[in-house]
């Protein structure tokens, strides 16, 4: 590590129209805080969306883990807000407590359950964490068969399932933990999740969706919808940026800028850096 002030913005910070981050899981050992801090030093944006599971409230309940680097991440994000970035926090299931503050602003950070982001080229993107559809996704095949009423019922059950589990302090059903146990099923789940979120965007009459939740960064067309997933900063260390022309790109940050090969640093942005094995 260099001895530079961690709060100072890098002079080489690249500026984007929008930056989307999700699934940081602050408050757990999973977060790769050093890499995230390095990423934040090198990336700035006019608008920053925090697309859920930023703080892991479920884990914090079962034992406090909050090292200085996690404070530094929060400070860094607040500093970007102070310096004029619009920061919008769209909570997820692990930070569901924040959903109680929908419509409020804290330290320049706006909290909202979902948002519609308009890209530079006029695409309307639904911004949502995605856990709202867990039950729909897990029963996607049945629900497709049963129709609209079943879909609405599943969404309603999902809300109450979370509330009741939270009330009784039962851990949230966690996709990432479950996926590790059921690798084959996880592949189906990812596909069903992507289809479900794209279908929801279509239902809402927008052009696409930006979500998180499944720790799997993707940008792809599903029918007419543009599906964008930010990934996470636990395993894959990814974020999504919107360029000034409205195009999206996945940024991979498995290594600090210092550790990245010079060529890769120069190229960064033109093409997403190839995925490297996480250390
Ligand atoms: Mn989640």
Per cent of the chain over pLDDT 70 is: 85
Task: Measure 144 CA to ligand 1 centroid, in angstroms.
Answer: 23
* pLDDT tens figures, 141-186: 788 778 778 888 888 888 887 777 777 766 656 666 677 777 777 8
Contacts of 131 (CB under 8 A, 6+ apart): 52, 92, 93, 158, 162, 172, 213
pLDDT higher than 90, residue 267? no
Task: Measure 2 CA to ligand 1 centroid, in angstroms.
Answer: 33
So what's the pLDDT on residue 263? 58
As beta bridge partners, residue 238 has 252
Q: Compute the C-alpha angle 186/164/156, nearest 5°.
A: 70
pLDDT higher than 70, residue 8? no
pLDDT higher than 50, residue 277? no
Residue of 49 and 169 predicted with greater confidence: 49
Mean pLDDT of 35-61: 92
Task: Measure 212 CA to ligand 1 centroid, in angstroms.
Answer: 7
pLDDT higher than 80, residue 189? yes
Task: Measure 27 CA to ligand 1 centroid, in angstroms.
Answer: 14
The residue assigned the tokens 């400070």 is: 75
The answer to whether 222 touches 155, Cβ cutoff 8 Å, is: no
Task: Measure 218 CA to ligand 1 centroid, in angstroms.
Answer: 16
Task: Measure 172 CA to ligand 1 centroid, in angstroms.
Answer: 9
Task: Measure 88 CA to ligand 1 centroid, in angstroms.
Answer: 17
pLDDT higher than 90, residue 187? no
The residue assigned the tokens 């790769």 is: 32
Q: What is the mean pLDDT of the chain?
A: 86
Give φ, ψ of 124 to 5 degrees.
-100, 120
So what's the pLDDT on residue 262? 66
* CA 237 – CA 33 distance, rounded (Å): 10
Alpha-carbon Rg for the chain in angstroms: 18
Task: Measure 226 CA to ligand 1 centroid, in angstroms.
Answer: 20
Task: Measure 191 CA to ligand 1 centroid, in angstroms.
Answer: 16
How many Å separate Cα 218 from the centre of its chain?
11
Task: Measure 278 CA to ligand 1 centroid, in angstroms.
Answer: 21
If one counts every other C-beta atom within 10 angstroms of the C-beta of residue 99, the result is 17
So what's the pLDDT on residue 266? 56
pLDDT higher than 80, residue 100? yes
Mean pLDDT of 10-31: 91
Task: Measure 95 CA to ligand 1 centroid, in angstroms.
Answer: 8
Contacts of 187 (CB under 8 A, 6+ apart): none
> How far, in Å, are 86, 148, 210, 251 from residue 174 at the CA level?
30, 26, 20, 25
> How far, in Å, are 50, 66, 179, 249, 252 from residue 242 at the CA level?
14, 31, 29, 7, 14
Task: Measure 73 CA to ligand 1 centroid, in angstroms.
Answer: 19
As beta bridge partners, residue 227 has 209, 220
Task: Measure 94 CA to ligand 1 centroid, in angstroms.
Answer: 6
* pLDDT tens figures, 219-265: 999 999 999 999 999 989 999 999 999 999 999 999 888 888 765 65
- Give domain 15-267's CATH architecture: 4-Layer Sandwich (3.60)
So what's the pLDDT on residue 278? 32
Cα dihedral: 101, 87, 251, 196 (round 10): 40
Range in 192-201, 232-241, 265-274 with the lowest mean pLDDT:
265-274
Range in 138-152, 209-223, 263-277 with the lowest mean pLDDT:
263-277
């Amino acid at each position: 590590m260099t001895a530079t002030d961690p709060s100072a913005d890098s002079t080489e910070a690249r500026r984007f129209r929008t930056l989307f981050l999700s699934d940081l899981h602050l408050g757990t050992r999973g977060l790769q805080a050093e890499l995230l801090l390095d990423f934040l030093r090198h990336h700035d944006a006019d608008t920053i969306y925090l697309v859920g599971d930023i703080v892991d409230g479920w884990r914090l309940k079962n034992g406090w883990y909050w090292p200085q680097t996690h404070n530094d991440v929060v400070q860094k994000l607040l500093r970007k807000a102070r310096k004029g970035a619009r920061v919008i926090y769209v909570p997820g299931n692990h930070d569901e407590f924040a959903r109680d503050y929908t419509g409020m602003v804290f330290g320049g950070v706006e909290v909202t359950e979902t948002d519609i982001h308009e890209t530079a080229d006029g695409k309307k993107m639904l911004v949502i964490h995605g856990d709202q559809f867990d039950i729909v996704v897990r029963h996607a095949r049945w629900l497709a068969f049963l129709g609209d009423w079943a879909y609405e019922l599943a969404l309603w059950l999902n809300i109450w399932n979370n509330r009741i589990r939270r009330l009784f302090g039962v851990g949230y059903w966690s996709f990432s933990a479950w996926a590790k146990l059921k690798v084959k099923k996880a592949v189906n789940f990812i596909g069903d999740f992507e289809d479900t979120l794209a279908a929801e965007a279509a239902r809402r009459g927008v052009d696409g969706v930006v979500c998180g939740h499944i720790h799997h960064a993707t940008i792809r067309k599903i029918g007419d919808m543009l599906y964008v997933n930010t990934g996470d900063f636990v395993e894959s260390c990814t974020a999504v940026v919107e360029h000034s022309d409205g195009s999206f790109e996945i940024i991979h940050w498995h290594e600090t800028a210092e550790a990245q090969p010079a060529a890769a640093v120069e190229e960064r942005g033109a093409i997403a850096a190839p995925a490297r094995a996480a250390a």
